[in-house]
């Protein structure tokens, strides 16, 4: 028996029983797994003063391993260059990942596979959160080394909002609870790809731990008397700014349409005349305004998300506002209901700036979404929570399953809103049950 491990000896016996070693047959080299990097060999050229590294990389199709070779000035540099080359080869092979694959390559593979189904605004949102992961150093981790504890620490750090400044000194908030949830989602989706590729056995991204007691956030909406004061403030601002009551007042019209519909600000700015049926007294919500880096502000078809498209019945006062705007614009068949000076859709940033100037300091905490919540509260009290959800196009899973799959109508909402708008017109201070604060569970939609 041969004492050399891994070597067998062919035998030939003589009559006296002596075994003659005839041939040494080495054991075959084990095949590398797909994406697995073999042993790295180094060579140092003293004349050229450079290092060369070679290694084999397993292929997914069963063919002989590919030999990767890289050259650099130092041994450390050539090692890193070889690892990067292996990552590129794995990406080219497709589906050939291993435990040494970095999170950067993993996220790139997930992005390549999923991004064709995204809207541009979704891609921009994901890009921002991937950059947060990059700033935290996560993208350089080998996926085989990632543990649930590591993921939880990074998500917790990103969930804490921090204040940074733009080059011009303007402060901006980076991170926060919503950012933490988003990066956890991205990591979970990416590691699902690694599990399907059998690069890791299980995903290290666990569900969000329930360590804190969820506190219902107080949602503030305005009673009719306060909404009347807000509208008067808008009217005064437009008269002072635009130079006289006979001048056109688009901000007041915008507020009136928000009060009569409960639209999101983006949905309001995306309205077109072809979406409004002045004869039937209805309005179709089928788009929203979004802003994407490199593309600017544009109208996105389909609304904020799937299920946001809906047809609303309009109260008479809101319909009168739209008819007046239609007559003022020359009764166009197409085009924005709230156009910019150039005739295009108003950008959301410009609308928000005008809103802040119009509301003044007395209503510094009032946003278009405050008006939207006020509409929801009015419909909930006058009709039902379900009709309020249908009116606002909420995407809550229970509401979506029960009402949107059967395309619930908004019948009866126009009459309820008409009565509520009359209270706004009269400056009704509200009753003891109306209040100025309504506590409603759930996230803002």
pLDDT in tens, 289-315: 887 766 678 888 876 666 678 899 999
Nearest to 313 by CA among 383, 213, 395, 229: 383
For the ranges 107-111, 142-146, 163-167, 270-274, which has the lowest average pLDDT?
163-167
How wide is the angle at C-alpha 304 spanned by C-alphas 303 and 309, nearest 5°?
Answer: 35
| The two three-digit tokens of residue 381, written as one number | 């009290």
Question: Is there a single domain that holds both residue 379 and residue 285?
Answer: yes
Identify whether 30 is part of a domain. Answer: no
In the chain, the percentage of residues whose pLDDT exceeds 90 is 33
Question: Is there a single domain that holds both residue 229 and residue 322?
Answer: yes
CATH of the domain at 413: 1.10.443.10
Residue 32 has pLDDT above 70, yes or no: yes
Question: Is there a single domain that holds both residue 60 and residue 191?
Answer: no
Q: For the purposes of burial, counting CB atoms within 10 Å of the CB of 259, is it exposed (0-12), middle (13-18) or buried (19 or more)?
A: buried
Question: Is there a single domain that holds both residue 161 and residue 252?
Answer: no
pLDDT recorded at residue 21:
58
| The two three-digit tokens of residue 371, written as one number | 């008006």
Question: Is there a single domain that holds both residue 267 and residue 180?
Answer: no
For the ranges 110-119, 128-137, 336-345, 377-386, which has the lowest average pLDDT?
377-386
Residue 247 has pLDDT above 60, yes or no: no
pLDDT recorded at residue 397:
37
For residue 68, what are the domain limits? 36-92
pLDDT in tens, 313-349: 999 999 999 999 999 889 999 999 999 888 888 888 8
- Residues 356, 362, 365, 368: is their CA dihedral positive or negative? negative
User: What is the residue-averaged pLDDT of the chain?
Assistant: 80
Identify whether 327 is part of a domain. Answer: yes
Number of domains in the chain: 3
Helix axes 250-261 and 348-359, enclosed angle (nearest 10):
100
Identify whether 48 is part of a domain. Answer: yes
Question: Is there a single domain that holds both residue 387 and residue 274?
Answer: yes
Read off the pLDDT band of 95 (50, 70, 90).
Answer: low
Question: Is there a single domain that holds both residue 380 and residue 246?
Answer: yes
Sequence-distant (6+) residues with CB within 8 A of 26 are 6, 7
Question: Is there a single domain that holds both residue 174 and residue 276?
Answer: no
């Amino acid at each position: 028996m041969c004492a050399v491990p891994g070597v067998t000896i062919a035998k030939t016996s003589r009559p006296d029983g002596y075994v003659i070693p005839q041939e040494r047959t080495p054991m075959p080299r084990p095949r590398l797994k797909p994406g697995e990097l073999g042993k790295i060999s180094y060579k140092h050229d003293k004349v050229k003063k450079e290092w060369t590294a070679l290694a084999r990389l397993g292929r997914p199709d069963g063919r002989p391993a590919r030999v990767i070779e890289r050259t650099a000035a130092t041994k450390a540099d050539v090692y890193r260059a070889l690892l990067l080359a292996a990552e590129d080869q794995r990406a080219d092979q497709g589906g050939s990942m291993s435990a040494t694959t970095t999170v950067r390559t993993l996220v790139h593979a997930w992005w390549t596979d999923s991004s064709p189904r995204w809207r541009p605004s979704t891609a921009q949102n994901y890009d921002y959160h991937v950059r947060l992961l990059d700033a935290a150093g996560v993208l350089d981790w080998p996926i085989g080394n990632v543990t649930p504890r590591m993921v939880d620490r990074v998500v917790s750090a990103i969930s804490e909002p921090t204040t940074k400044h733009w080059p011009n000194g303007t402060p901006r908030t980076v991170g926060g609870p919503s950012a933490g949830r988003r990066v956890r989602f991205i990591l979970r989706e990416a590691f699902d790809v690694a599990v399907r590729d059998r690069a890791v056995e299980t995903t290290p991204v666990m569900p969000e731990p329930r360590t804190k007691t969820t506190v219902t956030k107080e949602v503030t909406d305005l009673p009719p008397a306060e909404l009347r004061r807000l509208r008067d403030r808008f009217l005064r601002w437009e008269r002072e700014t635009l130079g006289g009551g006979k001048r056109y007042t688009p901000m007041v019209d915008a507020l009136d349409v928000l009060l009569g519909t409960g639209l999101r600000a983006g949905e309001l700015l995306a309205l077109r005349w072809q979406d409004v049926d002045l004869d039937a007294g209805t309005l179709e919500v089928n788009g929203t305004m979004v802003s994407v880096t490199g593309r600017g502000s544009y109208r996105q078809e389909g609304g904020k998300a799937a299920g946001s498209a809906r047809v609303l019945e309009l109260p008479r006062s809101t319909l009168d506002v739209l008819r007046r705007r239609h007559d003022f614009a020359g009764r166009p068949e197409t085009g924005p209901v709230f156009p910019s000076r150039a005739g295009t859709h108003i950008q959301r940033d410009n609308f928000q700036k005008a809103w802040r100037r119009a509301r003044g300091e007395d209503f510094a905490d009032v946003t278009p979404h405050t008006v939207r919540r006020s509409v929801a509260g009015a419909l909930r009290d006058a009709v039902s929570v379900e009709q309020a959800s249908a009116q606002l196009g909420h995407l809550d899973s229970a509401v979506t399953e029960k009402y949107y799959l059967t395309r619930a109508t908004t019948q009866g909402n126009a009459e309820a809103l008409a009565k509520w708008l009359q209270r706004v017109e009269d400056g009704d201070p509200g009753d003891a049950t109306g209040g100025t604060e309504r506590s409603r569970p759930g996230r803002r939609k």
